[in-house]
Amino acid sequence: MNQDVEKLWELQTVLSQLGDREKQLTDKPESFAAVDREWQDVNAAMERLQAQIEQLSRERRRVDGELTDQQELLKKYQGQLMQVKNQQQYAAAWKEIDATRKHVKELEDSTLKTMTEIDALQKQNDDLAAGSADLKSRWDAEHAAWQHSLVDLRGEVETLKARAVTIESTVPERLRREFHRIFKQRQNVAIAHVVADSCNGCRTRVRPAVLQQLKRGDLVHCEGCSRILYLETPPS
Ligand SMILES: [Zn+2]
């Protein structure tokens, strides 16, 4: 058995674990991502409701202002009614009063309708907020678990990096470079197992003569994919 190939096999295992851990560090775990999506959805719905409430409140303030103006106007016309000199003026003043009263009534109805709408939206918002308390505590728990797992992961990454450095220091420079070149070119697999007399990386058959070389402990490349072949020592 070739000792260097055995070390490189271990190095490849360590690098593959390192790759997994580093990917995990950048990915949200699905358990957190799921609750996070729910949480974002509820917040977006609440924001939409608040925007609608804000818009209706502005409309209500505008109508309230107009209502005040119209009520002032109504008082003025009612005052004028006391000062009319003849039937014609009396009729004209009443006409103004009637029209203004009608307008006031419309504005009051409109305000009432807006208030009812605002109340309904506010209730929806409050229900969402109340219902989201449980969601928020799940979000907090998943987020905390994720952050905690990152601490462990970072620890594992450091350990694996140190392990890779240690292994590499025991492998000859030329071989180490060759390993990394193939590792980069061949989807992070530089060392391929021989399984059923074939390269496990590309399924190319390993010729009996090459198999003999391997068994002797020579460093041999696959004729199909150029990966370094690794023959596991049968347990003795
Ligand atoms: Zn191969």
The per-residue pLDDT for 122 is 97
Mode of pairing for the β-strands spanning 198-199 and 191-195 = antiparallel
Mean pLDDT by 10 residues, the chain (236 residues): 91 96 89 94 96 97 96 92 89 92 96 97 95 93 92 94 97 96 96 95 95 93 96 69
> How many angstroms does the Cα of residue 217 sit away from the middle of ligand 1?
18
pLDDT reported for residue 234: 64
Q: What residue has token string 């109508």? A: 63
Q: Which domains does the chain have, with CATH numbers?
A: 15-169 (1.10.287.1490), 173-230 (no CATH)
Predicted pLDDT at 236: 56
The Å distance, Cα 200 to ligand 1 centre, comes to: 7
What's the CA-to-centroid distance between 204 and ligand 1, angstroms? 6
